[in-house]
Amino acid sequence: MTKVVIGRKDLLDFLTSFGKGVTDVRMSCAGNRLTVEVGFATYYLRKQLVGATIEDEGIIHIALLEKAIAFLKASKQDSVTLRQTAETKPLHMEAGGNKLQLPSTDDITSAAKTVVVRALLEKASAQGWSKFADDELTVHATLKTKDLISLAGMKGLLAKDSMYKMRIHCGEGEFGIVLARRLLVACLPPCLPLTRMGRVPPYRRTSVSGCPPVCSSLMMARLASTWVMIR
């Protein structure tokens, strides 16, 4: 059995930070940390919440994340207890006199690809980030996280179904998110500066598939034959 006691607001902020596109999570509970990995075709994200009182270490599956978040929002207590006897058994959440029982499953969509992606990242790290899978990493640059976060602040101005492209101008040292809709082309916000660039080819790269701006510790974009890693 896995049993965790954590601050209600801390857990609420942690679970809502993954965005509305994540409907379930697999949460590893060990030491005083809660760790969640999510992986999709457009991004991979690993986050940790420190400060939990873990009475019994293990894995917790939150199969209905929206209902768990609603329970945390409705509760007024300072702390919440999560208890699950097995990953496929019901999840019990208690906050004072309020209790919620959620069904579970071993099929967590957000975690389905994380094992593969984690293995690719570990291999790439061991190779000094010279390759990712079968692709050569020919361009390396550093982007400040505070600049990247400013992109997420623009999402309220756009439709939820808007498609984006991530554009890297290596020669000029610029990074931007481009929205193309009908005859409108916008860069949100003005291009951000790139620093600590390795080999700088005199051309631009644009992502093949659109994806919304996300703020994560590691974001990958497939740019034609080049992988640009932003850590």
Measure the CA–CA gap between 152 and 77, rounded to whole angstroms: 31
> Are the CB atoms for 83 and 104 separated by under 8 Å?
no
> Are the CB atoms for 175 and 219 separated by under 8 Å?
no
Q: Which domains does the chain have, with CATH numbers?
A: 2-110 (3.10.150.10), 127-230 (3.10.150)
Strand partners, 164: 179
DSSP code of residue 73: H
Predicted pLDDT at 179: 63
Predicted pLDDT at 144: 74
Predicted pLDDT at 83: 97
Distances (CA, A) of 70 to 8, 31, 229: 12, 27, 35
Predicted pLDDT at 131: 86
> Are the CB atoms for 61 and 104 separated by under 8 Å?
yes
Measure the CA–CA gap between 19 and 214, rounded to whole angstroms: 9
Query: Can you list the residues of the chain whose pLDDT is less than 50?
Result: 182-190, 200-231
Sort strands 33-39 and 184-193 into parallel, antiparallel or unpaired.
unpaired
Average pLDDT, the chain: 78
Give the tens place of pLDDT for each residue, 37-51.
999 888 899 999 999
Strand partners, 206: 167
Q: Which residues have a Cβ under 8 Å from the Cβ of 164 and sit 6 or more positions away?
A: 177, 178, 179, 210, 211, 212, 213
Predicted pLDDT at 193: 58
Predicted pLDDT at 68: 97
Measure the CA–CA gap between 159 and 35, rounded to whole angstroms: 31
Q: Would the pTM count as exceeding 0.85? A: no
